[in-house]
Each structure stands twice: as C-alpha cells, then as structure tokens.
Amino acid sequence: MALLLSTHDVAAMTRRMGLPELLKRLVGYLEADYLRWQDFDKTPRIAAHSADGVIELMPIADHELYTFKYVNGHPTNYRFGLSTVMAFGALAEMATGTPQVLSELTISTALRTAATSVMVAKRLARPDAKTMALIGNGAQSEFQALAFHHLLGIEEIRLFDIDPAATAKLMRHLQSVPGLRLVPCQSTAEAVKGADIVTTVTADKTNATIITPEMLEPGMHINGVGGDCPGKTELHRGVLEQSSVFVEFEPQSRIEGDIQQMPADFAVTEFWRVLSGQVPGRRDAQEITVFDSVGFALEDFSMLRLLRDCARELGLGSEISLVPRMADPKDLFGELITPEAESQRRAA
C-alpha cells in the first residue's frame, strides 16, 4: 500500500508544524541532498509545450529512491479559475520499484521553491540584508515573503504587481505577521530601489525584461524565480552580464532559465559547488549576484522525502492500492476474478 497525501493533508501538516518550522526543516533536507549531488541520476525535465503553456515531467533518482513530479505552467489559467501551476508526484523504492508515496505537489512546489530561494540566498545575499523587493504577488509570493522573513531575517518587503488585486491579496494575508513591514509600490523601479534582495516571481510566458541594468545597485542579490521555460525570462541580459550568476542544473537552466538568452560560453556556477565549498558564493559586499532559478527535480526529491517523514510522524494521509498485492505474483489475471466467482469455481 502507498501513502496518499492530498492538498488537505499538506495544509494540515503545515498548520500543525507551523510554516516557519516546516520551511526550516525543508531547507535542511535540501542542503543534505544538494551535498550529495554526485549520487543522483539527473536529467533536464521533459517538456510538452502548447501555445498557452507547458506540461513537464521531472524525474530523479539515487541508489535508494526514485521520484518524479508532473507539473504544468499555464499563465492564462486564471481565466478558467485554475492555478497557473498544478502538480503531483510520487516516491518509490529503487530496489523493487514499489511506490511509497503519491502526493499533491502544488502547495508543496510553492514551499520547496521558497525554501530553495532561502537556501541559496543564505550564501549569496549580503549577511546584513533586511529589505526585499517582491515583483509578482501571485500564488507563490506569500511563501517567498514568509520564508525570507522567518529564515533570513528580512524585515521589509516592497511589493509590486501589474495586478493591484494581487498585491492587496498578499497584504491581506501577511499584514499581521509580527516584525514584517509591507510597502506597496507603483512600479518595479520603485520597489527595487534600495532593496538588498530582489525576488521576481512572475507568470507570463514571454521574454520579459522586468529587471533592467539601471535598477541594479552594488551588493544586490536577485532571486529570479519566474523564468522557468523556453521563451520565458524576467531579467534583461545586461543584468546577467553585470552579475555573478548561479544556477541549479546547468543543462536545464541553459534551456529554460534567464541564461537562455546568453551565449553558450556565458559563465555560470551550479549552486551545489558553493554549498560543498568548491567555489565561493558572494565574494564581497559590492558584488551583484543572481540566482537563475528554474526549479529542479532534486528539490522535489527533498520535498517528497520530507512529506513522507512528516506524514508518518503526524499520522496524516491515507493508504491507496496503486499496485495489486497478489498471493501468486504471476497470477495478475486472478485479480479480475471476484471472490464469489472464485468460490463458485472451486465448488463446481
């Protein structure tokens, strides 16, 4: 029997553990897995594109576990009352192929993206960072804001979205968070002025230039979250040219990240090298750093492990028969026969 975790289970897990504690624990899982980078069988995600969006499969495995995530990205889904991003995934044993967990990953993707952002910013942002600009105030914005506030000590977040209702929604959710000051802004330029960290988490599938070179300031760290598929960027190429750029898995980032607009020899650093101490992160207080984040399967591997462990601890989830449990492993056809029919056959 596999463990089934619904959106209600993950929401209950977050409430019972508390979001700061869950995010803190998730960062620990992420760091542990990134430090084992060489143990994983890695591949860029497999994408199917349409005019309105993309559906992607994100597999990864080590010698013990295999995971995958199914995820979409459809920026116009709001017109149908649907999320831009929807996802589910599974965790299985490598030794037997037996599925252990089948879980929602829509809420969980927002959690792991925020935790990954903080994990990286701990090494790339200035240690004295207190102010963040948050450009794009949609579905993932609260997760980013709370992760940076609780885990990195951000005290002020300057907000901008082309949809004022999105900013109002974020402020409604977070206005009572102790020690967090929210400042709505009228433009991206206003929001990023004086910000120590700039997080971009926009949804449009277009080659946008949300952050431009004239907005850069010495010591700024840019957490670029929204550029995550071919034809979708957020940063002007001049921003990348003036910055030290870090990525998750370079072969995937070259296709999907903001660096897709750069030549093939444009220098980037995979973040696991920073975490392992092979290369430095931020070199000085004046350096401008960019995390060109597209989301990588290893982060979902960490998320699924955490979901499994926390669900066991809290008694959440339900069992589901994803594969038959047969008395005779060679008698699959026998699963189609009802107990009553089998009794009648034996009696005949």
8/18 Cα distance (integer angstroms): 15
Vertex 45: Cα angle to 42 and 46 (nearest 5): 125
Q: Report yes or no: 137 and 48 within 8 Å, Cβ to Cβ.
A: no
The closest alpha carbon to 190, from 255, 236, 134, belongs to 134
Q: Report yes or no: 134 and 197 within 8 Å, Cβ to Cβ.
A: no
27/29 Cα distance (integer angstroms): 5
Phi, then psi, of 126 in degrees rounded to 5 = -65, 140
Helix (H, G, I), strand (E, B) or coil at 199: strand
Q: Which residues of 329-344 are buried (b: 16+ CB within 10 A; e: fewer)?
A: eeeeeeeeeeeeeeee
102/323 Cα distance (integer angstroms): 12
284 is catalytic: no
Q: Which residues of 294-324 are buried (b: 16+ CB within 10 A; e: fewer)?
A: bbbbbbbbbbbbbbbebbeeeebbeeeeeee
Q: Are strands 156-160 and 131-135 parallel, antiparallel or unpaired?
A: parallel
Element (H, E) at 182: strand 181-184
Q: Which of 9, 228, 258, 292 is catalytic?
A: 228
The closest alpha carbon to 243, from 259, 257, 228, belongs to 259
Catalytic residue numbers? 228
